[in-house]
């Protein structure tokens, strides 16, 4: 018993250190950074200075729903901030706060699961110190807030299925609406949660849902009514003076013909060239040769046209995307750091893939046998559906827009909580299969080194931006 308590204290202490480190890196990067992947500050300034929500044609990023921009604009006016640097840092600190709350919710979710202490610890570290998520949380964009609202929505959907009760349902509905008012790629949550709830009702026998079934139809009706009125209008998905509905991501981006299966075709800044070349490849060797991408139409590394390579690189290496402009690096130390990360990150990638395959395997068995017990007896199956929906929508968008700039990790992170659960499934299975202590220690060591390298890569970016900031002053 004493050993168990000692281990628990050690895990708690390490989790606190991880959480403090994750917060410190986010705040530091938010303070030294003055750039973002896209210029959302222009939208914020129009709202703050002109007092209206701009329509899509007014600026490059004005097609987005405006909840994040409105919050920033209110902060700018309340603080009487006229300096563009102060305005940008305010927006970045709002994103930072959303990021901190997101990882806090992931920790709270993990703490409530029946898992090995080391599984909870390593999973939380991989989430909290993921360099891509930290980078997103330090930029003046709507991504962090969208990820936070999506994470909350998935969490409360899961809690509603576990506990029932009007309160969980209402909170889930509110966060679903807020996510839709923040960014368009979260809209996939709405049909996904409707599908999940419908499945649960159809297969429930003596469960929480069954007990409230007589009220559930009213819950769903009110939820759908509020969402379908508030989000299309408040999020400006339906354009003023028109019945035209904006495209899923941007009304400014060119749609191209769908990719051929074998034959490669090139449009814009090439990303998706064919089904085989882009969706059925993983170019690790080329990523190790060129651990960053180029953003032009020509002279780009081969891995830029590989869907899975792009996601893998962007998720794991903070310099991989070579954007924003001042985040680009040619320093050998940074590139070698990236190479080490890309090699070590294969382990957690395989763990996640194994967890995803296990979850999908359960669905396959349930479908083949026409067995609804997977749905009626458990609720964790919802995570695999949320993750699958997010991947499907990303595959769809990259297929119709084709440019590499759409192959982004930011379109995956709304399902962060779902990915967190799937990772624990894979990691738990791996640890159960490692019956020798030496192999478990080896795996712990690989994760530990990778997490340190993650942190160092973000720290190197902070120092790079801090040096540039000092020079500008």
270 three-class SS: strand
Instruction: Give the angle 459-322-325 at the CA atoms, nearest 5°.
Output: 90
Cα 216 from chain centre: 30
- The phi, psi pair for 368, rounded to 5°, reads -65, -40
What residue ranges do the domains of the chain occupy? Answer: 2-250+345-472
State residue 279's pLDDT score.
98
Give yes or no for a cis peptide into 441 (omega within 30° of 0): no
295-336 confidence digits (pLDDT tens): 988 889 999 999 999 999 999 999 999 999 999 999 999 999
CB atoms < 10 A from the CB of 245, how many? Answer: 11
C-alpha R_g of the chain: 22
Q: Give the burial string for 24-34 (b: 16+ CB within 10 Å, else e).
A: ebbbbbbbbbb
Tokens of 225: 């009514």
Low-confidence ranges of the chain (pLDDT < 70): 1-6, 204-214, 239-253, 368-377, 472-473
State residue 376's pLDDT score.
65
State residue 253's pLDDT score.
56
Can you say whether the dihedral through the CA atoms of 158, 164, 169, 171 is positive or negative?
Answer: negative
Q: Which helix (H) or strand (E) holds 275?
A: none
Q: How would you class 127 by CB atoms within 10 Å of its CB: exposed for 0-12, middle for 13-18, buried for 19 or more? A: buried
Instruction: Give the angle 382-385-390 at the CA atoms, nearest 5°.
Output: 130
State residue 438's pLDDT score.
84
């Amino acid at each position: 018993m004493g050993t168990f308590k000692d281990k628990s204290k050690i895990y708690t202490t390490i989790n606190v250190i991880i959480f403090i480190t994750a917060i410190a890196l986010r705040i530091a990067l938010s303070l030294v950074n003055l750039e973002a992947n896209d210029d959302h500050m222009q939208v914020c300034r129009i709202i703050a200075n002109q007092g209206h929500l701009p329509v899509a044609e007014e600026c490059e990023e004005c097609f987005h729903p405006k909840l994040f921009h409105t919050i920033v604009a209110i902060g700018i006016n309340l603080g009487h901030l006229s300096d563009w640097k102060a305005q940008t840092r305010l927006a970045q600190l709002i994103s930072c706060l959303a990021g901190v709350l997101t990882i806090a919710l992931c920790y709270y979710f993990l703490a409530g699961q029946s898992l090995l202490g080391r599984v909870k610890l390593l999973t939380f570290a991989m989430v909290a110190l993921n360099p891509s998520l930290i980078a997103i949380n330090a930029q003046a964009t709507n991504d962090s807030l969208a990820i936070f609202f999506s994470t909350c929505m998935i969490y409360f959907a899961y809690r509603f299925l576990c506990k029932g009760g009007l309160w969980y349902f209402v909170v889930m509905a509110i966060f679903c609406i807020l996510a839709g008012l923040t960014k368009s790629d979260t809209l996939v949550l709405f049909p996904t949660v409707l599908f999940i709830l419908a499945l649960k009702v159809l297969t429930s026998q003596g469960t929480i849902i069954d007990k409230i079934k007589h009220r559930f139809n009213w819950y769903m009706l009110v939820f759908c009514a509020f969402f379908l009125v508030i989000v299309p209008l408040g999020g400006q998905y339906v354009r003023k003076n028109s019945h035209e509905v904006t495209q899923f991501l941007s009304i400014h981006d060119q749609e191209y013909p769908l990719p051929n299966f074998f034959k490669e075709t090139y449009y814009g800044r090439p990303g998706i060239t064919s089904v085989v070349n882009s969706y059925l490849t993983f170019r690790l060797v080329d990523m190790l040769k060129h651990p960053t991408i180029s953003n032009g139409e020509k002279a780009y590394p081969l891995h830029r046209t590989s869907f899975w390579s792009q996601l893998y690189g962007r998720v794991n290496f903070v310099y991989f995307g070579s954007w924003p402009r001042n985040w680009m690096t040619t320093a050998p130390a940074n590139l070698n750091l990236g190479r080490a990360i890309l090699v070590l990150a294969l382990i957690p990638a395989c763990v996640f893939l194994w967890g995803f395959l296990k979850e999908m395997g359960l669905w396959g068995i349930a479908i083949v046998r026409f067995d609804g017990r997977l749905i009626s007896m458990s609720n964790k199956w919802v995570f695999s559906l949320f993750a699958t929906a997010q991947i499907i929508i990303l595959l769809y968008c990259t297929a119709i827009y084709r440019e590499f700039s759409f192959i982004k990790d930011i379109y995956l992170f709304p399902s962060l909580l779902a990915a967190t659960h799937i990772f624990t499934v894979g990691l738990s299975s791996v640890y159960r299969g490692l019956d020798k202590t030496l192999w478990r220690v080896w795996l712990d060591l690989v994760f530990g080194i990778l997490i340190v390298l993650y942190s160092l890569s973000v720290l190197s970016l902070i120092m790079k931006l801090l040096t540039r900031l000092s020079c500008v002053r």
